[in-house]
Structure 1
Amino acid sequence: MPAPDPSGGVAREDRIVMPGFVDNHRHSWQTAFRGVGSDWTFPEWAVAMHGTVKPHYQPEDVYVGTLLGRLEALHSGVTTMLDWYHVAQTHEHEDAAIAALRDAPARSIFCLGAGWATPRSVDDDIRRVRADLSGDGLVTLAWGLRGPEDTSMDTVARELKLAAELDLRTSLHIVAEGTQRPVGDLHEHGLLRDTTTFVHGNGISDEELRMLADAGSSLSISPDVELKMGFGFPLTGRALAAGLRPTLSVDDVPSVGGDLFSTMRTAFAAQRGLDGGLRSRDLVEFTTIDAARSCGLESRTGSITPGKDADLILLRTDDLTVFPVTDPIATIVSAGHPGLVDTVLVAGRVVKRDGVLVDVDLAGLRTRLLNSRNRIAAAAGISLNTPWLPRP
């Protein structure tokens, strides 16, 4: 199908038009340390990012990391992104993250992570940010909850009640080990909600996956991180068998690439290696309409549908890495990459044209990000000239 020319010119026949990608779980504050954790396990990542560098983050570091991280995602076709913020230090740090998302010409959800090294009242904090993000503009709010592995059921119940009062969707990380049954525990206490997205989920049982499906909850799978960091195989096929439509997310760029093309390919290959399941169309739906639904945005984005906002991307078909394109969906999943993203529209506005982000001072932002990385590394006593292998 010929692609419309966003400049109003002649329609093109060498572009694929598709909904913009939706990433419902990414920690963009870590952008300055892109790639340093390729060899890390999860315990090593936790020590490095939360124990070593996070204490040295200033609001400017949060701002520039979040902004460059969001622009990177937009550059690779992610028109909607949930930014799972857990670098809590002060109100100024939170405000810097929100300001960065507002300065990026994209649809973003600021997911305020609760209880990550802050003695302040979580309830007061979420109310404060809610007052700032009270509309339905391009930047909205969600609440990143502590799960049953990190706090008491009473706390989970109280925070879910407050989230409902504030009309907020919630997200929480879970990974079960041994005899742990985090989803089962929440189910027994009546705390599963259709407004909650569970991140990862490795180790939970098929019975617990069915509980999530019955409750209408969502599941966000980060296949590259889960396989590389030792979480186990992604739950993609098991989730489908339990009646869930899984979604996919990047998670963090110190360890993995920041585009959903590679994320789809990893999830696809891992599941096909296990049981031959999945088809290319599944992966595209996981990263568009299914992910939009998990964010409560399915009426606005995630598909090319009359009445929805025009969150669209145009992909090159004349690039030698994909030419000739015979099956567009199969090509996107098997060979797609950010270099194909020629044009991006968010709510009908062209924010990337001819492969270049519109009205963005990337040179200045690159300088600020390098200065941020170097300052944090020096303050944390990290050498950037040798591989960094943190030890738990």
Structure 2
Amino acid sequence: MQILLQNGHVYQNEAFVNADVLIKDNKIAAIGKIKPSSEMKVIDITGKIVTPGLVDVHVHYRDPGQTYKENVHSGSLAAAHGGFTTVCAMANVEPVPNGLNEIKSMIEHNRKESIVHIFQYAPITEDLTSDKLIDYQAMKNAGVCGFSNDGHGVQKGGTMFQAMKHIQKTGLPLAEHIEDDSLKFDGVMNAGENAEKLGLSGILSECESAQLARDLVLAARTKVHYHACHVSTKESVELIRLAKQHGVNVTCEVAPHHLLLTDDMITKDDAYFKMNPPLRTKEDQAALIEGLLDGTIDMIATDHAPHSKEEKQHGFKNACFGITGSETAFASLYTKFVKNNVFTLTQLVNWMAIKPASLFNLKDAGMLRISDQADIAVFDLNHPFELNENDFLSKGKNTPFVNTKLFGKTVLTFVSGKIAYSEEGVK
């Protein structure tokens, strides 16, 4: 069946143009003014925008091992609900896919269970916390998108150096969770006045920036594609800016919650605000925004980290770190920044679709071109809405954005030309 998306505002060449989009044989067949025919299912999207399917290089699907929190199917449903058509899943599952058979099994499971495109990370070291390297070339040959111990920083400089040397030969990114455990001091939120006021132990900003400085020096030596996950401090932004000026092959991401929230918004012991890295200061937030605008920060990635409600009910000291993001990212960022003229809509689409697909070499993702697979998101920017817990398709509801008034609701998501998500009432 052919599907005609009629009367939309379509993203083309870093601008939005009034156009129709024809989907045929799971691909984009035409963009422009298209005359409907009897062979077409026509969907009127007047007043709505059409973008490439969003791309998220950082999600946690907990599958296998912790599927009570999330699984591949529920995580992919949540992604499509948020307008994402391509995601990269982290390797911090149980068991960790250290070997070729395990990673092949995960990739096949992703293919069978997901309604979006999933690219799979392999670990940097066995079991994420050891110093034993894995077979990087074999993992590349199996189809992984990169290597990450996300959830754990690589603690020993020698281990990181050896990993970088071998990963550089594969041409794939090393995506690092930047955290020096010796500087964490059992902290649960950002170190500072608010942590002291709430009687909670603090995590120093240097816990991130000190390890990042080490890694950037090693990346300069090894020429690896070093990708800094969830950058959160002003010092980290400045280090990456300087490294780029010196030609280091570094990219980085920022998470929506670090752009939207700060530690002074934590007014009580509410673990929905507990995440790693923690919410930082207003000065850090301003540096992250500046880093996006000047190109230091390359992309936005959600770090979608679902947990059960029970795991978030015990306050900062005992709750798990993590916040969901797939279903709130685009709308919350559009509402906060585009509607307030901090970002443009085209910049937001660039950071959430074009750049991650390009920099991670994700095949067929992040573009709206004739003959490409039809990975498409349609958003309503004009009507406010609220997401309550019953609206979430993720198993995880752990976000402070529940019941927040937002703009930028996902109306339709197509993955390879098939409807992966449809707002109720769309005909």
Q: TM-score range by the shorter chain?
A: 0.5 to 0.7
1:165 maps onto 2:169 in alignment: yes
CA displacement, residues 239-270 of structure 1 (integer Å, 9 cap, x when unaligned):
13653243122211234344355356248737
1:109 maps onto 2:119 in alignment: yes
SS in 2 for 1:29: coil
1:201 is matched with which residue?
Answer: 231
1:143 maps onto 2:147 in alignment: yes
Contact 1:170 1:195 in 2 (8 A): yes
1:65 is matched with which residue?
Answer: 71
SS in 1 for 2:90: strand
CA displacement, residues 307-334 of structure 1 (integer Å, 9 cap, x when unaligned):
6443212346897859xxxxxxxxxx96
Query: Which among 374, 377, 383 is matched to residue 310 of structure 1?
Result: 374
Contact 2:51 2:377 in 1 (8 A): yes
1:253 is matched with which residue?
Answer: 306
Deviation at 1:292, TM superposition (A): 1.4
Deviation at 1:288, TM superposition (A): 1.0
Residues 30-109 of structure 1 aligned to structure 2 (within 5 Å): 58=65, 61=67, 65-89=71-95, 91=97, 94=103, 96-103=105-112, 104-109=114-119
CA displacement, residues 275-298 of structure 1 (integer Å, 9 cap, x when unaligned):
x7433332222111122123223x
1:183 maps onto 2:205 in alignment: no
Q: Decide which structure has greater helix share.
A: 1
Contact 1:198 1:218 in 2 (8 A): yes
Residues 275-290 of structure 1 aligned to structure 2 (within 5 Å): 277-290=342-355
Residue 16 and residue 194 in structure 1: after superposition, are their counterparts in 2 closer, same or farther (change >3 A)? farther
Residue 194 and residue 90 in structure 1: after superposition, are their counterparts in 2 closer, same or farther (change >3 A)? closer
Distance in 2, matches of 1:120 and 1:83, equals 20
2:50 is matched with which residue?
Answer: 17
Which sections of structure 2, spanning at least 5 residues, go unmatched?
1-17, 25-38, 180-203, 262-272, 308-321, 387-404
Deviation at 1:335, TM superposition (A): 0.7
Deviation at 1:148, TM superposition (A): 10
Residues 340-355 of structure 1 aligned to structure 2 (within 5 Å): 340=411, 342-346=412-416, 349-352=417-420, 354-355=422-423
1:296 maps onto 2:306 in alignment: no
Distance in 2, matches of 1:211 and 1:289, equals 24
Contact 1:250 1:263 in 2 (8 A): no
Query: Which among 21, 27, 48 is matched to residue 4 of structure 1?
Result: 21
Contact 1:345 1:351 in 2 (8 A): yes
Residue 265 and residue 152 in structure 1: after superposition, are their counterparts in 2 closer, same or farther (change >3 A)? same
Distance in 1, matches of 2:333 and 2:382, equals 24
- Supply the AA of the counterpart residue of 1:246: D
Which sections of structure 1, spanning at least 5 residues, go unmatched?
31-56, 134-139, 323-332, 357-392
Residue 87 and residue 293 in structure 1: after superposition, are their counterparts in 2 closer, same or farther (change >3 A)? same
TM-score by length of 2: 0.59
Contact 1:292 1:302 in 2 (8 A): yes
Alignment RMSD: 4.0
Contact 2:51 2:376 in 1 (8 A): yes
CA displacement, residues 162-183 of structure 1 (integer Å, 9 cap, x when unaligned):
2122332221122573385333
Distance in 2, matches of 1:302 and 1:279, equals 18
Residue 217 and residue 161 in structure 1: after superposition, are their counterparts in 2 closer, same or farther (change >3 A)? same
Contact 2:227 2:251 in 1 (8 A): yes
Contact 2:165 2:224 in 1 (8 A): no
Residue 351 and residue 253 in structure 1: after superposition, are their counterparts in 2 closer, same or farther (change >3 A)? same
Q: How many residues align?
A: 306
Question: Kindly, what percent of the aligned residue pairs are identical?
Answer: 15
Deviation at 1:236, TM superposition (A): 3.1
1:269 maps onto 2:336 in alignment: yes
2:241 is matched with which residue?
Answer: 210
Deviation at 1:187, TM superposition (A): 3.2
Deviation at 1:352, TM superposition (A): 2.4
- Supply the AA of the counterpart residue of 1:238: E
Distance in 2, matches of 1:86 and 1:300, equals 26
Contact 2:129 2:154 in 1 (8 A): no
Distance in 2, matches of 1:293 and 1:314, equals 21
SS in 2 for 1:200: coil
Distance in 1, matches of 2:297 and 2:385, equals 30
Higher relative contact order (CA 8 A, sep 6+): 1
Residue 68 and residue 351 in structure 1: after superposition, are their counterparts in 2 closer, same or farther (change >3 A)? same
